Structure 1
Amino acid sequence: MPKIRAASVSDHRAQQRAALLEAARDVLIEGDASAVTFAEVARRTAWPETASTSTSPTATNC
């Protein structure tokens, strides 16, 4: 089981979601909407790209 860096799983998920949204915002600010890909956001957050749909139901909307 992966280690989490929060007091609870729900806190961990909230932290991960915030990090993903921040990275997406940063990519958008630096470029345009077409530059926001899950691969780029994952790279910036060290999030495994393969985790996109298994851990976040909104990841498919990225």
Structure 2
Amino acid sequence: MTDVSDHAAGDRHRQNDVPQLPEGDEARESVESYDTEDGVVFYDAQNPLAWLKATNAVALGDAL
């Protein structure tokens, strides 16, 4: 489990059941992308219906 803070909902901390990659697995192998008018969409090629919601953008280079 990942402990997250949700300031918008007023929750100080809550548990989020997010599966974590096993040690040694490479996350980038299953990531694909496509361009839109507004930017680039990254998605999990093994589960293309999965989605993420973010309140702010992060430069991909800063996250790697």
What is the TM-score with the length of structure 2 in the denominator? 0.31
The higher-RCO structure (CA 8 Å, 6+ apart) is 1
Greater C-alpha radius of gyration: 2
Instruction: Return the structure number with greater helix share.
Output: 1
TM-score, length of structure 1 as denominator length: 0.31
